[in-house]
Structure 1
Amino acid sequence: MVLVIVVAVLALLAGLAANRWLRPRLVSADDDEGMAVKDLVGPLLTLTVLLLAFVLVTANGSYGKAEVASRGEARALDQLVETAEYAPALQRARIQADAVCYARAVRVQEWPAMSEAEGSPAPSVWSTDFRAAFKTLQGEPVFGMLVAADNKRSDEREERLTQATASIPSAIFWFLLATLTITVMALGICLPRKNNRGQILTLAVITALLTTTLCIIRDVDRPFGGIINVEPTAIAEAERQAERDFTQNHPAADLPCDEAGNRRAV
């Protein structure tokens, strides 16, 4: 984001400098001959705005999918905890405890890792323990419901991790940055050399708007890091409810994990 701002400001200064020293050499005495530089700026600005709008919609779609996947994973985990109520006491305690530890591992360890487009192996420890508990319930009526809820949780987690990576390739981002730079410089060249305070102010506003749009694209395209990010609110609520159910059903039992979702030493 800092790079975008720095390059945009440099482009603005370069455009103003070119207007001062380069434009007199480019513009002939008769401006009506051929197409002037200012005649090309309108289509260039339109192209820049359309490209930014298109990419912004794409990035926003990725952000929306990440948020939906995060909520879907929390709902699936909550359904898993509720379905475990129909299991025998031993398996019910194990599944509900694993759900609390899974939610903690996601919230504390995997969420920060996703800001770098990476995952964490910590939640997989507890999802593996889910399946180990399910094996002891084969043939029971609750077995199919537990497997279905766990499959839903797994699918939503995979989608969440997928959306943690940037959906816009780096080449496209650099192309947008180059287009913004050329547009701002072209606008600067076309400014009048005298009595141009209003035009300079307008150019500065346009530069700020285009730069802000590109910064928003960069930020939204990484939904788990930056200023505009998806918070682990849903998984934290699922953790709270799972811990409540576990405590009510097994008040004398301890969770097999610490506050970060790591397995305790036996």
Structure 2
Amino acid sequence: MWLVIVVAVVALLAGLAANRWLRPRLVADDDDTGMAVKDMVGPLLTMTVLLLSFVLVTANSSYGKAEVASRGEARALDQLVETAEYAPQVQRARIQSDAVCYARAVREQEWPAMSDGHGSPAPSVWSTDFRLAFRTLEGKPVFGMLIGADNKRSDEREERLTQASASIPGAIFWFLLATLVITVMALGICLPRRNNRGQLITLTVITALLTTMLIIIRDVDRPFGGIINVEPTAITEVEQQANRDFLSHNPATGLPCDDKGNRLAA
């Protein structure tokens, strides 16, 4: 970091020194104008747009990973429910009921928590219960299939929680905001004082576009909160399917959790 700062300062001082002592020798006539402010605004605007575009791509990548992880977790949980059909009746009922409660805990408790970049301990209660049920199946063919599906579910959940955190550091966001302010102010300084209606409209449109892009970056960087967010659609569908499978085999047995995935008292 310090190397970049030192090089930038040296470059600035070298440029000012060249302007002070070298430019008079290179320019024959008396030059009092040089580069106008409006000539320097173009590169500044280009840099601002490039920075915003680069950060937007990064934020969109995080959003895409979050959506893929959410769907992958739902598929792994669905595979777990289907694989449980090959287990004995007692273990099958326990695994399928745990899957319903896990999905409810993810949907009702962990999803809202992820809007602030956090997770919830509620789903871990049921993932632990999965492993307790698996232990009673050691040595049977279905054991390896269940372990594989559960490992996939665990990996996808971890990826989902990772993507819930902002991928763009706050310092970068504030730097982008400062760059936007400087760019808009520089454009405003270069506007003519008279007959400037067209320029004012153009500046307003540019400001609106840059601001909208920065808002989109801020929103997409938090894929589980905001206007553009990943909905728990996939995990909800798996919950409904797992609930139907459980009730088809155990019509007289209730689930061990409430509607929010909290374990009921024995």
TM-score by length of 1: 0.88
User: 1:179-258 to 2 correspondence within 5 Å?
Assistant: 179-258=179-258
Q: 2:153 maps to which residue?
A: 153
> Which residue type is aligned with residue 113 of structure 1?
A
2:171 is equivalent to residue 171 of structure 1: yes
TM-aligned CA deviation for residue 139 of structure 1: 0.2
The 5 A counterparts of 1:61-210 are: 61-210=61-210
CA distance 1:196–1:32, change in 2 (3 Å): farther
Cα-Cα RMSD: 1.1
1:207-256 Cα shifts (integer Å, max 9, x gaps): 00000000000000000000000000000000000000000011111100
Letter aligned with residue 222 of structure 2: R
Any idea what the Cα deviations from partners look like across 1:92-121, whole Å, max 9, x if unmatched? 000000000000000000000000100000
CA drift at 1:32: 7.0
**Aligned residue identity for 2:88:** P
Aligned AA for 2:256?
Answer: P
User: Equivalences for 1:20-59 in 2 at 5 Å?
Assistant: 33-59=33-59
Secondary structure at 2:35's aligned position in 1? coil
Distance 2:62 2:244 in 1: 33
Whole-Å separation in 2 of the counterparts to 1:119 and 1:171? 24
**CA distance in 2: counterparts of 1:69 and 1:112, whole angstroms:** 17
Gaps of 5+ in 2: 1-29
1:61-106, Cα deviation, whole Å (9 max, x unpaired): 0000000000000000000000000000000000000000000000
Quote the Cα distance in structure 2 between the aligned partners of 1:94 and 1:33: 82
Give the share of equivalent positions with the same residue, in percent: 83
1:253 is aligned with what amino acid?
Answer: T
Cα distance in 1 for residues equivalent to 2:32 and 2:195: 22
Q: Which runs of 4+ in 1 moved over 4 A?
A: none
The structure having more radius of gyration, on CA atoms, is 2
- 1:174-229 Cα shifts (integer Å, max 9, x gaps): 01000000000000000000000110010000000000000000000000000000
TM (norm. structure 2) is: 0.88
Corresponding residue SS for 2:153: helix
Q: Which AA in structure 2 matches 1:116?
A: D
Q: Deviations over 1:108-141 (max 9, x none)?
A: 0000000010000000000000000000000000
The residue identity in structure 1 corresponding to 2:71 is R
* Distance (Å, rounded) in 2 between the aligned partners of 1:78 and 1:128: 17
The CA distance in 1 between the partners of 2:32 and 2:184, in whole Å, is: 24
SS of structure 2 residue aligned to 1:146 = helix
SS at match of 2:119: coil
* Residue aligned with 1:228, SS: coil
**Relative to structure 2, which stretch is displaced further, 31-40 or 252-261?**
31-40
**Partner residue of 1:24?**
none
1:27 maps to what in 2? none
Q: Structure 1 residues 182, 31: CA separation in 2 closer, same or farther (over 3 Å shift)?
A: farther
CA distance in 1, matches of 2:111, 2:262: 15
CA distance in structure 1 between the aligned counterparts of 2:192 and 2:32, rounded to whole angstroms: 16
Task: Identify which of structures 1 and 2 has the higher relative contact order when contacts are C-alpha pairs closer than 8 Å and 6+ apart.
Answer: 1
Aligned residue in 1 for 2:265: 265
Amino acid of the structure 2 residue aligned with 1:175: F
Task: Please give the alpha-carbon distance, in whole angstroms, between the structure 2 residues aligned to 1:253 and 1:235.
Answer: 23
State how far apart, in whole Å, the 2-side matches of 1:192 and 1:86 are: 78
Shift of 1:31: 9.8
**Contiguous gaps of at least 5 residues in structure 1:** 1-29
Deviation for aligned residue 1:33: 1.4
